[in-house]
Amino acid sequence: MQISGNTVFIPGATSGIGLALALALHDRGNTVVVGGRRADLLDRITAEHPGLHAYRVDTTDPESIAAVAQQVLADHPDLDVLIPMAGIMRVEDWTDPAGFLASAEQTVTTNLLGPIRLIAAFVEHLLGRPDATIMTVSSGLAFAPLAATPSYNATKAAIHMLSESLRLQLAGTSVQVVELEPPSVATDLMPGQRESPVAMPLDEFVAEVLDLIEHQPDATEIQVERVQFLRYGEARGDYDQVVAALNAHDPHGK
């Protein structure tokens, strides 16, 4: 992926990493389109950041995805980057179905089916572009689990393998598949995460991500230095220690 000159759609970009990445990419000379469920937030974002485009979309709703794809492609036929960003992360108690089942179903719908449906809505268009990118968003928790968030961990592991598989299927086409792998970042994804001492400051994370994109445009995985502790535990042979350290720092997922 090139750092500038793209037209980028980021559904799930009204806050946190999604919004920060959208603004940073816009500042680097990209046309950026954001999507989210709340019209008031979208209106505020476009008012505060002239030049940014916004569309209402519920990424848990297949009909909403189909409708926004039609709108975005009609208005931005040069779209060449898709970054499905929407995600939820919840503490779950898997010792009792009442403590996890509804949450698990919502997490799978948002974190896994949402990106799958978005890719389905845009892949034919992207294949017709001379140089296009699908940037998936997994997590360091795809590679080492936080005990408190089983469904989140599982969906992000699935996104990792989906990215690997899709990259194989699209080899030889004009579409590059890049996987963004955030560590814990200081956002409101979980209660208390913004203030957590182990969370990476959001501005530092986005700055490092953009630097990696700029200097490694052919990378298949975007890994800031902080996530490599989680990403490569098995390869280093210290996976058990990584899992223990992860859960000692944050045993309740807060």
- 152 catalytically annotated: yes
Where does residue 253 fall: left (phi above 0), alpha (psi -120 to 50 degrees), or beta otherwise? left
**pLDDT recorded at residue 61:** 97
pLDDT digits (tens, 9 = 90+) for 173-211: 999 999 999 999 999 898 888 888 889 999 999 999 999
pLDDT digits (tens, 9 = 90+) for 120-141: 999 999 999 999 999 999 999 9
Of the candidates 55, 152, 232, 239, the residue annotated as catalytic is 152
What does the block give as tokens for 229?
Answer: 């502790």
**pLDDT recorded at residue 254:** 35
pLDDT digits (tens, 9 = 90+) for 9-34: 999 999 999 999 999 999 999 999 99
Q: Dihedral sign, CA of 200, 201, 207, 209?
A: positive
Interval 141-160 mean pLDDT? 98
The domain segmentation of the chain, as residue ranges, is 7-249
**pLDDT recorded at residue 245:** 95
Instruction: Determine whether domain 7-249 maps to CATH 3.40.50.720.
Output: yes
Say whether pLDDT at 252 is over 50: no
Interval 58-75 mean pLDDT? 97
Output the average pLDDT for the chain: 95
pLDDT digits (tens, 9 = 90+) for 72-86: 999 999 999 999 998
Greater confidence, 249 or 167? 167
pLDDT digits (tens, 9 = 90+) for 86-129: 899 999 999 998 989 999 999 999 999 999 999 999 999 999 99
Confidence of residue 232 (pLDDT cuts 50, 70, 90): very high
CA dihedral 23, 26, 32, 33 (to 10 degrees): 30
